[in-house]
Homo-oligomer: A and B are copies of this chain.
Amino acid sequence: MLRPTGAGGRLPSTLSTPRAAQSYREQFHPLHGCTGPRCSAGGARPAGRQVSAAPRRRGAGLVSLRAHGSLRAGQRRGGLERAGRSERREPARGPGSGAMAAAGGSAKLVEMFYDVVSPYSWLGFEVLCRYRHNWSIELRFRPAFLGGIMKETGNQPPAMVPKRAEYMMKDIKRMAKYYQVPVQIPKDFFGSVIRKSSISAMRFITAVDMTQPQFLEPVSRELWMRIWSRDEDITQPESILAAAGEAGLPSALAQKLLAMTSTPEVKNRLKETTEEALKYGAFGMPAVVAHVNGEAHLFFGSDRLELLGNVIGEKWLGPVPAASKPRM
C-alpha cells in the first residue's frame, strides 16, 4: 500500500542509485557545509567548550569555526548546484532563541525544527542550505523529536490514511526530483522507522549540536541519506556511528557523543527544543519559524518556502537557486 505506484516522476538515473547518492553527498554537500555554531546550532552554547574536530571531505576547511574561505561562484556539475561562496553573514544574536537577528538590521533569523525521520524535512533542509547564500538570513537548524510533537498535538502522520499515504509517496518522489535531493522511499517504511522511532538518532544529533555544532549539518544529512536514500537503519548504535563516520566525526568522538545520548542533559535538550517548536505552534515537521519585527511566523512543511521568502522580503528563485554573492 505504501509502495509508490509509479505515476509520479522518477529520480533521474544519475541520482537514483546508492553510488550516485554517494556521489551527491561527496560533491554537493561540502559546498553547503555547516559554517559554525552561529549557523546551525540551537539554543545556548556551553561556555568555553572546545571544538575538537571539523567535518571531513573536500571543503572541510570551510566549515571550521574560523575559516570562511571562498569558492568560485556559479559552479555547476551534473545538474546539481555546487556553487556558492562560503563567506556568510553572521549577524549578532540576541539572548534567547526568539531573538531577532540583526546584521546591519537586515538578516532575519530563520529556524528550522526537524527530525530525520521526516523526508519533507530533508527537502526543506537542503533548500534552506542553498538559500542562505541567496537570502539575507541567519539560518539555525533545531533538531527536535517529531514523535513528541505528534503526541502532544494529537496529530496523526498523514500516511495513516491509505490514500494519503499513497499520494505522499508519489509526492515525495516528485518533490525530491524537482528539489534535487536524492530521496528514495524505504521498502518498508512503517517497519523500519515508524515502529522503532527516531529518538536515538535525534538524541545523537542533539549531542552533536551541543558539543560539536559544526557537525550538526553533515551528521543530520548522513542520517537522512541512510533512511531516506539508501533504505538503511538509523535506530541502532552502529547505524548512528556509521552516519557519524560518513560525516567525518572521528570514531572516538562519535563514541563519546553516543554515550552522551543517555544523559539527562541531552535528553532534556531534545525535550526543550521539541517544546519550543510546540510553543511556536508546530504540529508536524519541518516547522520553519521566521522572526520578523519581533514576531514569529510559523511555516509547516517544505512547500511554504516561497511564502517564507515573501514574508521576510526575499525572492523565491525555485528550489535550486543559482548562488549569488552574499550581500553583507
Contacts and interface: CB of A to CB of B under 8 A. Distances in A.
Interface of A: 7-9, 153-156, 161-164, 166-167, 170-171, 174-175, 178, 278, 281-284, 295-298, 300-301, 303-304, 306-307, 310-311, 316, 318
A161 B167 contact: no
A7 B295 contact: yes
Ranked nearest first, the 9 interchain pairs of A and B with the lowest CB-CB distance are A163-B283, A153-B163, A303-B303, A164-B283, A155-B161, A178-B310, A167-B281, A154-B161, A178-B307
B153 A161 contact: yes
Contacts of A9: 297, 311
B170 A298 contact: yes
So how many copies of this chain end up in the complex? Answer: 2
Contacts of A155: 161, 163-164
Contacts of A175: 307
Nearest to A8: B297
Contact of A303 (B7, B304, B316): B304
Contacts of A295: 7
A283 B171 CA distance: 13
A167 B304 contact: no
9 contacts: A153-B162, A153-B164, A163-B283, A164-B284, A167-B283, A170-B298, A171-B304, A303-B304, A316-B318
Q: Which of A9, A283, A303, A311 has the most CB of B within 10 A?
A: A283
Given A281-B163, A316-B318, A171 B300 contact: yes
Contacts of A282: 163
A281 B166 contact: yes
A29 to B, nearest CB: 24
A5 B310 CA distance: 20
Max count, chain B CB within 10 A of own CB: residue among A163, A166, A303, A307: A163
A170 to B, nearest CB: 7
Contacts of A153: 161-164
Contacts of A307: 174-175, 178
